Amino acid sequence: MVAVARILDWPLDAAEDNLHVLWDAGAIARAVKGEVHGAPGGEFTVSGVEIDSRDVQPGDLFFALKGEAMDGHRFVEMAFAKGAAAVVVDRPVDGPHILVADTMEALERLGAAARLRARGPVIGVTGSVGKTGVKEMIFAALDRSSRGDAHRSVKSYNNHVGVPLSLARMPGRSRFGVFEMGMNHAGEISALTRQVRPHVAVITTIAPAHIEMLGSEEAIADAKAEIFQGLEEGGTAVIPIDSPHYARLGEGALACGATVVSFGKAADADVRLLDTVPAIGGGSLVTVDMGDRRVCYTVAAPGEHQVINSLAVMAAVRAVKGDLGAAGVALAEMGGMPGRGARVEIDVEGGEPDARGQRKALLIDESYNANPASMRATLAQLGRTPARRRIAVLGAMKELGSHGPDYHAALAEPIREAGVDYALLVGEEMAALAKVLGAAELGKSGASDLGKTAPFAHCPSVREAVETLRAFGLQRDDAILVKGSNSVGLSALVTALSKQEG
């Protein structure tokens, strides 16, 4: 007898007939306190919500928002040309539209209506490092277990526009919602969390990101802890026990009536890391104590920081009574995202070809964001990555204010510890690091504790960095880490290298 494997079809639900209808005209008008115009019979339905006319898809509802430099009303015609079903405007236009007094306020109202109709638990995520990755991991876990009925904010839509937009896009059938919240000033998360109203609030970690605006890590911790202010009654706060700010975060959570669930390495963590070993094919095999049970799973994304992130994911999934088994499978399948740890093989010209006649190198794309904590973590992971040579292309870390020179200079130590063979520094702020590396290279006083340092180059712009890297010459089996704040523009360097992706 031969067993034949087959994939079972998901059972269809009668409600799935309206699967692609997100809102109808009446529901939108009631939610935003507006009036329907230009639609036959005053009726239309939309399948999506958009604020950028360039991204409009057929069936979308386009909000004509006013920004400091641009007015979305200028792009209403473009939105209709791309297939928008209707637009939300503050002045009459040709075509189906809902007229309101303020389009930004209308977007917030539609987001609030979406949150009000949500039938499942909602999770909010913030933190100085890793919030987008953790948000994506939680979503992947819950989407798998709910057969596609989980919703999350896409990209890094985590500010005063991105959060209500992400809420407004949440289908009424969603069984879970996962939303990211960011800030660079005190009070921002307080406003966002009151819109999201999470049942579970996760703080990934506290680090000196945005310290220029807030002044101290303690102030950053307080600003992140604002997420607890919006928790639903009986809500859960998931916080990192290994953080020096754990007690501060815990006090903030308890003051808001939350149940605290801790994660980390500490012996008294509620979700405690017991063991981690390298997994076959990369990543880590993780064993975790969750109090009444132990779970073992694989984290595909490499790095100890990703292992710790996975603990927060497991804590959040359990808090909403999600499927831990599905979460483990999702973590095993998730690699890095573009700009946030994606690993790709690229063709290079240097070195001897392999048995297939190819010359491949590993490109690690961390070009979207950088702060002192994430720099150290990714450099440490580069040091554990098998490679003939380890090359670090490091862009400036922004929003560090007067602390910037010290934080940049301090990267000399993790560069040395990672065994970096060549460092390419990009941006004016990297001058402080270049000074330290240069002093160590010359054996000057005060740099002796660094020992031998890698050869390096310092470029003021990404364009020069691309040319410098080409002149240096990448070789087969190199590992190239590219990391910096998004505004540095290192994604262009990644694109230049990836044009030869294998």
Give per-residue pLDDT as tens, 461-481. 999 999 999 999 999 999 999
Which amino acid, one-letter code, is at 479? A
Highest average pLDDT, of 237-241, 335-339, 493-497, comes from 237-241
Residue 97 forms beta bridges with which residues?
37, 87
Q: How far apart are CA 308 and CA 466, in angstroms?
A: 34
- Distance, CA of 168 to CA of 205 (rounded, Å): 28
Task: Spell out the residues 6+ positions from residue 331 whose beta carbon is closer than 8 angstroms to its own.
Answer: 137, 140, 141, 297, 298, 299, 300, 310, 313
Instruction: With a cut of 90, say whether residue 177 has pLDDT above it.
Output: yes
Average pLDDT, the chain: 91
The band of 3, judged by pLDDT with boundaries at 50, 70 and 90, is very low
pTM for the model: 0.84
**pLDDT category of residue 278 using cuts at 50, 70 and 90:** confident
**Which pLDDT band, with edges at 50, 70 and 90, does 2 fall under?**
very low
CA angle 414–180–89, rounded 5-degree value: 135
